[in-house]
Structure formats: structure tokens, C-alpha cells
Chain A
């Protein structure tokens, strides 16, 4: 389902020198598989997710999602592919403050090239226990509710792959478990593969497969090395 081959990513320093972040020879996920990615801060986890989402271009290598090589796609096609096939949940939720919960979820459907379906968006919010919160703006929602809205937005298109970048870093431990359960359940139900980044050992311990970025990544680097 997801396959990385010889992916290299580096950032250009202000000085002009290249700062290598990722060099992954092989990394794969099967359909519906749920994997946790751990690693030291600054190790390149967010960078990897951005590469998988096609938000950042890689220097080299191939990224196949559902059999399509997104590194070979034109940008417009990659945008479209991202809209349809990838759900992204962020540490800071990234809801648009001017829109209601329902509109934020609808926004997730807007760029797929298909008609946005308000009933399906509302259904997802209801499933996540936000049936009474459809018309609320993010600022009127609790942090846990906001995260559930962003989960609904990520899953409403039934993507192939869900990327979750520390989705529980801003939530207390009680809510943390709720959100993890929610994500796992929804992905299982819809057969969505999930790659979840977390620093929490409690969360990581619940997954069958836990990957350390340092193990996959040939560039060994930690905060002190910077």
C-alpha cells in the first residue's frame, strides 16, 4: 500500500550547504496496517510525513501510495491525490478559525474534485460525538473536540493512508486515550492504513508495530548533533 524506496531528503541551509534529514532505503505499510513512528526530536518525523503527503518534495527515490508514485506526479495531480487518498491530523489541529466544525470537515471534501456532501460530513461528526457541535466555530470547542473535528476532516474522504503527527501532544492523558481509540477504531472500520507519530510510550505500547525513525533512517542525528 505504502512503499518508500531510497528516499532522500535534505534542506538547504541559509549558508547554502545541504542539511541531510532523511535517507530511507526501504519502508512499507500494508493496507489497513497501523504503525507508530517514534524518534528523537528533530529527527525528521514531521519531514517524513510531509514527504508522504506530497507537501514536501523529496530529493531522490520513490514513494508509492496505492500503487501510484507520487514523486513522479505533476504538482496538480499530487494535490488532487493528496485530497483523495491521504488524511492528515496535526499536532495543532489546524482548523480554520473562520469556519464552523461542519464547514471545516466540508473543506476536507472540497478539493477532491467530487461534490462535497454535507450529510456525510455531519455523519462523521456525529459518529465522533459532535452531533450537537456542528455549527460551532473552533474557538467555541474544547481542545478534545477540536481534535475530533480534525479527525473527522482527515477521514471523511476515506483515504488510503492516515498520517497523524503527535495528535495527542496537546491533550491531557484522559483525552489522549480517547483520541487514540477513536483513530484506531475508525481506521480499522474503514480499512485505512495509519502512520502515527508520538513521543508517548503509553501510546506506542498499544501498537503491534512500532518503528524508530533512527532505525529506518540512515542519517543518524539527534538534537545535540545539530
Chain B
């Protein structure tokens, strides 16, 4: 009897593990897709250096991986007052490459303009109205206050930085670079549910003034004309920085940092540009002009398309494979329920015969077995759901810091609602064979035993 309880518990446990794995796959996939869908909203195009479009989206939208090669500031100016300006509602420059380390986690520091929070929405509601950035504390930074910063909600919470606090970004995204000048936090954003929650935004003017971020005057000037003609010469991995670090005249940087004069435009570069077009044709025209035009400095991509392709080619198939695996695990667990109950049928036939002798009908003893199978699966299923979510909750911090996806314990997926009834139906199916044995029990013979 006790042995049977133990066997049942083990069977339930294997079911629980299978279900927990299934939950993990389902929820992580859903959250990932959700994040992918919500993050790349509010603008039409991302313009950045030549390279993999996935890398451009990852570094610009999700703050993951390394940024592409920078493009000259003059290229950005085309969107502001140059040939592209007529199609453009807003163009927001991004300078990537710095980070800030706190509480054992690393946060990306992004040099940008205040327009990011005023001219661009971070998403749209169900009714189509745009969701604009709002501040839970402080205000937006100002263009002429070079060393001001605004923090995303999660970044502020995790770093503990408040309005009025100062911090020094670290050069490079590996977190081992030199420390920069101080920035003052002037505002903290409300949570947006996007990757930007985990970023620190600093004034792009201050970014250029940081050691190693501006090109030195002479080579930059010399390079400026050539940028129109061909791609930038040096193949650097890091933002405007590593290349500049070699060429920069130390004296220049020191004086700039001290006097806080804006860095001349020919000494500037940007990593990427978020472009919000005036109308639906803007993206098409710009796509033509940038990607198929004569100057092959930059690429323009529609993040939504890249995200869709990412979902279709990688996320979807991986999920499918994982789901098939977990379904197999659950099936194996179900079969072990079958084996466990079936094995106990011979010792149970006596009890069943006694119940029949007391007036239980065939269907009654049959349903007792079915109910046991279903209860076992239900127990395993519910334990599995709890287990899965507990694992999610435990793994959430490391997932958040590595993949930038925020998970919660009660992160439910609608598919889980189907899981339990599905499991019960499966258990009924599995329990049917032993239940049939119960149905067919020869009462007179089993009683004699």
C-alpha cells in the first residue's frame, strides 16, 4: 500500500517535471515574442552602419550584443536639415558603447537627444493611440545641459540612483573600461515594458565630451569629405570610440571636457538613428535612397520586419522543437501513470470485487480507476505549473541581466489554461486501459482469492 503511494508520487512527480518544462517553454517564448513585438515601436526605421541588420536591431532596440560601426554625424544631419528631412518627422541619434555597472548587473548607457522622449512614442495602445514616455520623477534632460541623464525605470530601481544623484559611465560595454565624467540624474521614466527600461540615457553633447568619444579635429576633418564617397576605413567593433581613442589628441579632450564647449560636428559620429517618418511612404522612399542609393555608408531597416523574420526563422522553430520535446516528456509521464496503475490492478482486483459484491456497478469501479488516473495527472499538472513558475521566478534575475527579458512569477500564458484540461483528458485516455480491467473484473473469482 505504502509502496503504491510512493510509486504514485514518483509518477506524479515525473508528470510535474514534464509540465514544468512545458510551462517554461511556453512562458519564456510568449514573453520573448511580447518583448520583441513591443520594443520596436514608435518609429519606422533604424539607420546605422553597414553590417548585419539583426545586429543593428539587437544593439539599438534591445540593447543586446555589440553595436555596428558608427556613421558620420553629417549623415545624421541629412535627416535633420538635409535631403532626407522632407520625409522625416523626427530623427533621434543614438551613441552606443558605454555602460554602467551596478548591483552586479550591467546597464547600457546611451547618448541621445531629449527628442527621444518627446518626439517618439514607445508603443501604442489597443485603440491605436500612441504611448508617450512619461516621467515618474524629475524631468527630461536639456540639450544645453551637457551632463544630464535620464534613467529607465528598471535601471533606476536596480542601480538605486535617484534624481540628483550622479554616476560615471564606463567606457565600453564589457564593463572593464575607463571611468568617465560624472552625469547628474535629472529624471526617471515610468516603466514602459520595453528594453529601454533597463537603459541609462545621457545627453549626446555630454557623451561627445567624454574622453575617447570624439574624433580628433584634424583626422576627422580630413576624413569628412571621404565619408561621402566610400565606407569608413577602419573596421572597429566599438562605437565611435576605439578608433577615436588612437587618433584623439589628449589636449583637445581635456580642454573640451573642462570648458564644456560642444564638440564640432566633424568630430562627431553616431551609432544609429531612429527615424520617424511623416507618412507611410517615407520609409519606402528612405529605404530606396539609403539602401539602394549611391552612398553606401549606412543601411536603413524596418525593425518590425526584422523582428518578424527573427520570430519566424529562429524563435518559432526553436519553440516548436522544445514544445515537441516537452510534449514527449509529458506523454512518457502519462504512460508511467498507465504502467503504475496497471501494475497495481492485480492487487486491486480483490478490492474491486469486494466493492462489486457490495453493490458497486461495473461503471462505478471503472470510474474509480479513471478518477485516480485523472487526479494523479491533475496533481502532477498543478505541481508542474507551480514548479515551472517557481523556476521562472528563480531564474528571472539572471534571465533579465543576460537576455533583457523581465519575467514575473505569475507570468501566465493563455496556453496554460488549456494545459490542465488537456492533461486531464490525456489522463482519462491513459487510465482507460486499467479502468477497463476493473470493468471486466470477474467478481466471483477475485473474491475467492
Interface residues of A (CB under 8 A from B): 46-47, 50, 53, 55-56, 75-76, 79-80, 82-84, 88, 90, 94-98, 107-108, 110-112, 153
Contacts and interface: CB of A to CB of B under 8 A. Distances in A.
A94 B361 contact: no
Interface in B339-362: 350-351, 353-362
B361 A111 contact: yes
A47 B443 CA distance: 12
A110 B361 contact: no
A56 B442 CA distance: 9
A41 to B, nearest CB: 13
Given A55-B444, A56-B444, A88 B351 contact: no
Contacts of B233: none
Given A46-B448, A96-B354, A97-B1, A80 B359 contact: yes
A75 B364 CA distance: 12
B359 A83 contact: yes
B414 to A, nearest CB: 40
A84 B360 CA distance: 11
Contacts of A111: 355, 358-361, 364
Contacts of B447: 50, 55, 90, 94
A166 B371 CA distance: 35
B351 to A, nearest CB: 5
Contacts of B362: 75, 79
B361 A96 contact: no
Nearest to A137: B1
A107 B351 CA distance: 11
Nearest to B350: A94
Q: Chain B interface residue count: which class?
A: 10 to 19
A111 B352 CA distance: 13
Contact of A79 (B350, B351, B359, B444): B359
B443 A55 contact: yes
Contact of B361 (A46, A50, A75): A75
B428 to A, nearest CB: 21
A98 B355 CA distance: 13
B444 A110 contact: no
Contacts of A53: 357
Q: Is the interface of B mostly helix, strand, loop or mixed?
A: helix
Interface string B402-422: 000000000000000000000
Contacts of B363: 76
B439 to A, nearest CB: 11
Across chains A and B, which 6 residue pairs bring their CB atoms closest together, nearest first?
A: A83-B359, A111-B359, A79-B361, A50-B444, A94-B354, A55-B443
23 contacts: A47-B444, A50-B443, A55-B447, A75-B361, A79-B359, A80-B359, A90-B447, A94-B357, A94-B447, A95-B354, A96-B351, A96-B354, A96-B355, A97-B1, A98-B1, A98-B351, A108-B358, A110-B358, A110-B360, A111-B355, A111-B359, A111-B360, A111-B364
A29 to B, nearest CB: 20
A92 to B, nearest CB: 8
Contacts of B355: 96, 107, 111
A100 to B, nearest CB: 14
B358 A153 contact: yes
A96 B360 CA distance: 14
B444 A84 contact: no
A56 B362 CA distance: 14
A76 B365 CA distance: 12
A55 B361 contact: no
Given A50-B444, A55-B447, 14 more contacts: A46-B448, A56-B443, A75-B362, A76-B363, A79-B360, A83-B358, A83-B359, A84-B359, A90-B447, A94-B354, A96-B354, A111-B360, A111-B361, A153-B358
Most A Cβ at <10 Å: residue of B350, B351, B359: B359
A46 B363 CA distance: 25
B93 to A, nearest CB: 75
Nearest to A53: B357
A7 to B, nearest CB: 15
A111 B364 CA distance: 9
Interface string B58-95: 00000000000000000000000000000000000000
A82 B444 CA distance: 14
B328 to A, nearest CB: 34
A94 B449 CA distance: 10
Contacts of A97: 1
B305 to A, nearest CB: 63
B1 A55 contact: no
Given A55-B443, A98-B1, A76 B359 contact: no
Most A Cβ at <10 Å: residue of B354, B363, B443: B354
A107 B358 contact: yes
Contact of B356 (A79, A90, A95, A98): A79
Contacts of B443: 50, 55-56
Contacts of B1: 97-98
Nearest to A57: B444
